[in-house]
Structure 1
Amino acid sequence: MRRTQRGITLLGFIIVLAVIGFFAYVGMKLFPMYSEYYSVKSALKGLANESGVAASDPARIQDLFFRRLYISYSENVKPQNVKIRRVDNGWQMDVQYEVRRPLIGNLDVVGKFHATQMLRRGGDGV
C-alpha cells in the first residue's frame, strides 16, 4: 500500500510565508499614507462644519486647516499644496499632494492624493 502525502511541504510553507510577509511589508508602507489622507479629509469636513468659516479670509481658513492637521501629525501636506478659491456662496478648498516612500532598494511607493471641500456660508459645507 502506498500512502499519499497530505498537507503542505516545508518549501511550500516558506514560499507562502514569504508572499504574506511581502504583502504585510507593503501594507505597512501604505497604511501611514492613507491614514494621513483620511486625516486631511477629516480636517476638511471639520472645517466645513465650523460656523462662519465661509466668511473668513483665505489666510485664516488655511491657518485653521493646518491647525487641524497639526493635531493628527500630518507632515506631507504643505501650504503650497492647498488652493483656496472663491465660489458662489463661499470658498472651495483643494488639497493636492504626493507622498513618496522607499520600498525596496531603488523602488519607491508613490501616492498622489486629492481632496476637495466646499466651505459655504452657514457652515453646511455641502
Structure 2
Amino acid sequence: MTLSLRQRQRGVTLIGLLFWAVVIGFVALVGMRVFPTLNEYWTIQRTINKVAQEGGTTVPEIRAAFDRQKDIEYSITSISGKDLEITKVNEKVVVSFAYDKEVPLFEPVYLLIKYRGTSR
C-alpha cells in the first residue's frame, strides 16, 4: 500500500544542469561572434543594391560609388570596390561579391563563413 502511494521524484540533476549551461553558453558565444559578420553582410548587400541602381553606368563609377558608401558605412571592412564583380544582364547592372570571414571562437578554433551576394 505504501509503495503505490510513493511517487518517483523527478527533476534536473546537477550534471544535467551543467551540461545545458555549457551548451547554452557555447551557442551564445557563437551567436555573439557571428552576429557582427552578419550585420556587415547585410550592410554590404544593401550598399550594392543601392550602388547597382544609382551608382553609375561604367565599372569605375560603380566601384567609386561603392567606396564612397563604404566610407559612410563604417561597418564594412571585409571588401572594397575592387573586390566587386560588375556585369550587365538585360541592360541592367548586376553587382556581385564574395568573401570569406574567419571568426575566432577560442584560440585554436575558428569558424569560417563564406559570404556571397548579388544585387537585385
Task: Give the counterpart of 1:91 among 73, 93, 104.
Answer: 93
1:59 partnered with 2:75: no
String of CA shifts for 1:42-101, please: whole Å, max 9, x gaps. 111222332xx343x222211211222331421111344212234441432211111112
- TM-score by length of structure 1 reads 0.76
| RMSD of Structure 2 on Structure 1 (CA) | 2.1
Task: Give the counterpart of 1:9 among 13, 29, 49.
Answer: 13
The answer (yes or no) to whether the contact 2:70–2:80 under 8 Å persists in 1 is no
Alignment of 1:94-105 (within 5 A): 94-105=96-107
**Number of aligned residues:** 115
Deviation at 1:6, TM superposition (A): 2.3
Structure 1 segments of 4+ aligned residues over 6 angstroms from their partners: none
- TM-score by length of structure 2 reads 0.80
| Higher RCO structure (Cα 8 Å, ≥6 apart) | 1
Match for residue 41 of structure 2?
Answer: 37
Question: Gaps (5+ residues) in structure 1?
Answer: 118-125
Higher Rg of the two aligned structures: 2
The answer (yes or no) to whether the contact 1:39–1:72 under 8 Å persists in 2 is no
Alignment of 1:100-119 (within 5 A): 100-117=102-119
Letter in 2 for 1:84: I
% identity of equivalent residues: 27
Letter in 2 for 1:60: E
Deviation at 1:41, TM superposition (A): 0.9
